[in-house]
Amino acid sequence: MDKYIKYIRYMAALAIIGMFFYGGCTSSSTIMHEPAGGKIPSITPAASTLTSNETSEAEIVKTGKFSPVTIAFQNLNAIPITIKYYKIEYTDSYTGEKLSSLSFGSEMVFTISGNTGTSTSSSSTTTTASAAASSSTASTSGNNVTLPVVDSKTKVEMYRNVNDPTDNRVLGAKITFYGTDYNANGLEFNASVTIVP
């Protein structure tokens, strides 16, 4: 009987440990491309807001500065992943309307190294699909990419009537990164951020 009770306790302990492991993996996993082992564990900040001191909306549109967004990548495998291009698409957060005149893309060369958390290559270029991207060049550090998501065109869309503060609108920015895994298969990662006037 004692052996049987020890066996039951042993199996129960294994079952509990298994539930913690399985539950943790399924609830916190943010893997975006499982075959390549890549994921985006964090986006900071979740909302891009005004960081300069203007109080007049007309001045904000002219010179106001908004917080850039840093997207952290993690590669769970030992073989690097290469990001070649990113695209940012904007929508009106209230209506869901896509603002295609603001959307743009840019080429980049960015390698997400495996497991170590450091990048073997981190540079970006400024070939853009739209003039809206003129102030939105990506910068990279380690396995992080930092992007300005607010430029002059974006501010005009947020502050449509600078004399009516009730006319301001919150925007959503969807950021998509395109690249290749170690087998040269195409992959993409998606991130999003809110832009608050």
Residues 60 and 9 placed together within one structural domain of the fold: no
3/52 same-domain check: no
Contact present, 132 and 50 (Cβ < 8 Å): no
Distances (CA, A) of 64 to 55, 151, 152: 9, 9, 9
Burial of 17 (0-12, 13-18, 19+ CB in 10 A): exposed
81-107: pLDDT as tens digits: 899 999 999 999 999 999 999 999 999
Mean pLDDT to the nearest integer, 172-180: 94
> Of 150 and 138, which is predicted with more confidence?
150
Digit-coded pLDDT (tens) for 104-136: 999 998 998 887 544 444 444 333 333 333 445
pLDDT 10s digits, 43-86: 999 999 999 999 999 999 999 999 999 999 998 888 888 999 99
Judge if 23 and 44 occupy the same domain. Answer: no
Question: What is the token pair recorded at 53?
Answer: 């001191």
Looking at the fold, whether 16 and 102 belong to one and the same domain comes out as no
Same domain, residue pair 66 and 133: yes
Confidence check: pLDDT of 33 > 90: no
Tell me: pLDDT of 16 over 60: no
- Residue 159 in this model has a pLDDT that exceeds 70: yes
pLDDT computed for residue 38 by the predictor: 87
Q: What per-residue confidence (pLDDT) applies to 154?
A: 96
Of 69, 90, 92, the residue nearest 148 (C-alpha): 69
Cα-trace Rg, the chain: 22
Give the contacts of 77 (CB within 8 A, at least 6 positions apart).
36, 37, 38, 114, 115, 182
In this structure, are 23 and 43 located in the same domain? no
Share of the chain above pLDDT 90, in %: 54
Q: Which residues pair with 38 in a beta bridge?
A: 33, 75
Distance CA 75, CA 15 (A): 29
Instruction: Provide the number of structural domains found in the chain.
Output: 2
**Domain assignment of residue 10, given as a range:** 1-29
20 and 78 together in one domain: no
Residues 162 and 131 in one domain: yes
Q: Do 147 and 59 share a structural domain?
A: yes
Please check the confidence at residue 22 and state whether its pLDDT lies above 50.
no
Structure confidence at residue 88 (pLDDT): 96
CA-based nearest residue to 82, from 41, 122, 112 = 112
81 and 147 fall within a common domain: yes
What was the pLDDT predicted at 24?
A: 37
**Rounded Cα gap, residues 41 and 177, in angstroms:** 14
How many Cα neighbours within 13 Å face the side chain of 76? Answer: 13
Please indicate, yes or no, whether residues 48 and 140 belong to a single structural domain of this protein. Answer: yes
pLDDT of residue 79: 82
Q: Rounded mean pLDDT of 8-34? A: 48
Over residues 3-16, the mean pLDDT reads 55
Distance, C-alpha 155 to centroid of its chain: 20
State whether 73 and 135 are in the same domain. Answer: yes
